[in-house]
Amino acid sequence: MNLRRLPLLIIVISLTLAGLTGCARETPAEHAANVYAAHELAAAPPHGNLPDYALAPADLAKAQHLGTLRVVLHFGGEAWEILCILLLLNFGIFARMRDTAVKISTNRWAQGYMFFLLAVLVDTLLGLPLDLYARHLSLRYGLSVQSWPGWFADQAKTFALTWLIGGLLLVLLFWIIRRLPRTWWFAFWCVSIPIILFGIFVAPYIEPIFFQYQPLAQTNPALVAQLEQVVEKGHMNIPTERMFLMKASAKTTTLNADVEGFGSSKRVVVWDTTIAKMTPDEILFIFGHESGHYVLGHIVSTIIFSLGLLLVTLYVGYLFVHWAIANFGAQWGIPSQNDWAALGVLLLAFSLFGIILEPMENTYSRMHEHAADIYGQEAIHGLVPNPQSTAVTAFDVLGKAYFADPNSNPLYEFWTSTHPSIGRRAAFAKAYNPWLPGTEPKYFKK
């Protein structure tokens, strides 16, 4: 096998899978609803209200201001990250962190964990100003109700988990680099596959570190009975003991409900803020949407797609590290890719390449979210009086909770959004009616 051609092959396969899984045949009802939504957005003023999703004047002003700040924070954050890495390399900070780790111990495990501790600490401090400002905004606009001590406690937990897990991955990566200097990118990719799968599996067991959970059957048995109808309709194997209520209201005012994990760790999670702000029918639609990701195989296809992009990213990182060290290694104090400080060069490569991959990944995600919207609307047909109005009001509640811009910038949506805009989703939901004569549902055939 020609390993130099392998990344190109993987990304072609991944993009093909994206097309097959995200762009399944567009039904007549879906096409009509897409055309209706496109016309509604085109007729409305930029950042202005839509017929199917509108905010009160005061909330619209907040949404427009927040929308601008989110754009600045997003792209400003990416630029700041790249600038910080370049400064750390040029001022020899990565090399000094390596020297400190090597002086402390001759043991590779101790060196790796000490170096990574210093790297995470520096990264946290450099990112703190933007994090604090984002936190300030969430409090100012009522998106968060968490106290500052509680927020700092969560940051400390995240820091500890990042250090423990990331340190292990760092030691493993550099062990592979030393033994396979030419093909470490492929070897580490192979090793990362079971690690990623294990991470998805254990994620439901890590979340309770940050939020409190209760069995949903104990707190809201009526809702469980309704959710079971969607589970049964979609032929999903999710027993009631795997349905949980997450007490998000202790920290946030935003809403969510999802399906987490896989295999024996798979479970349904509904936030208490969702129950407080949405009607049971609206919650049923949100749950139907999340169920769609599971039933339509989005979890598996996304893992495959992400692994393809990861392989390409690692290969680009390998090429970039060799080029950068050959040209700037002496200036940065990094003699080879085996050096702990070479992590800084890899991070720079991943940050630069990540910007290029961002719209590709988000386009793929939006395709899945659109398909899940269709599935959710079809899943509640016959369970609620009017699936169209239920979906529209659910998006209305969801958008108002986040101060979502009704008609956001299409370029920003394309480049950064993992979901279609709330306005687009609400307009589509209103027009999507596959139960009219001459049409049929996409996923639940008549």
**Mean pLDDT per 10-residue segment, the chain (446 residues):** 48 49 75 97 95 96 94 95 97 97 96 97 96 96 96 97 96 97 96 93 93 92 90 84 92 89 84 95 94 88 93 96 97 96 97 94 95 96 95 96 93 93 96 93 86
Domain hosting 70: range is 6-431
Domain count, the chain: 1
Is 444 a member of any domain? no
* CA dihedral (369, 74, 278, 62) positive or negative: negative
Q: Does any domain span residue 437?
A: no
Tokens 């964990």, located at residue: 113
For residue 439, tell me if it sits in a domain: no
Task: Kindly report the pTM of this predicted structure.
Answer: 0.90
The answer to the question of residue 322 being in a domain is yes
| Residue 441 located in a structural domain | no
For residues 411 and 75, is the Cβ–Cβ distance under 8 A?
no
Q: What is the DSSP letter of 409?
A: -
Largest Cα–Cα distance in the chain?
76
pLDDT at 212: 94
pLDDT of residue 265: 86
Q: In this structure, is residue 440 part of a structural domain?
A: no
| Structural domain includes residue 157 | yes
Quote the pLDDT of residue 237.
77
Rounded to 10°, the helix 342-379/108-140 angle is: 50
Structure tokens at 100: 């400190």
C-alpha 137 chain-centroid distance: 21
- Which pLDDT score is estimated for 264? 82
Count of CA atoms in the C-beta half-sphere (13 A) of 282 = 18
Q: How many CA atoms lie within 13 A of 151 on its CB side?
A: 15
Rg (CA), the chain: 24
275 part of a folded domain: yes
